[in-house]
Amino acid sequence: MHIRCTYCSQSFNLNRDYIAQALAEAAEARQKYVGVECINCRKLIKVPVKQMRRFAPRPEPAAEESEAAE
């Protein structure tokens, strides 16, 4: 997921592992935004959980479901 800082305009990427972890923590705390620290100026950027869900890794289908489909 590509992020651009609103303060210094530095752009950087968030990897899928970080997104999955951030979404789990946000769901637990029932948050609408996740705070991401800029790699350049270290200010906090609010990223909507709804936007992060689009880039989250898809869960792998369980082996039971694939056997049932056959």
pLDDT digits (tens, 9 = 90+) for 5-50: 999 999 999 999 999 999 999 999 999 999 999 999 999 999 999 9
Q: pLDDT band at 64, cuts 50/70/90?
A: low
- For 20, phi then psi, to 5°, come to -60, -45
Distances (CA, A) of 29 to 10, 24, 64: 28, 9, 31
* Residue 10 falls inside a structural domain: yes
* Residue 36 falls inside a structural domain: yes
* Residue 69 falls inside a structural domain: no
Strands, E, within the chain: which ranges? 2-4, 11-13, 33-37, 44-48
Please give the model's pTM, rounded to 2 decimal places: 0.73
Q: Which of 44, 48, 56, 50 is nearest to 15 (CA)?
A: 56
Q: What is the pLDDT of residue 47?
A: 95
List pLDDT tens digits, range 11-23. Answer: 999 999 999 999 9
Domain span at residue 20? 2-58
- Of 4 and 65, which is predicted with more confidence? 4
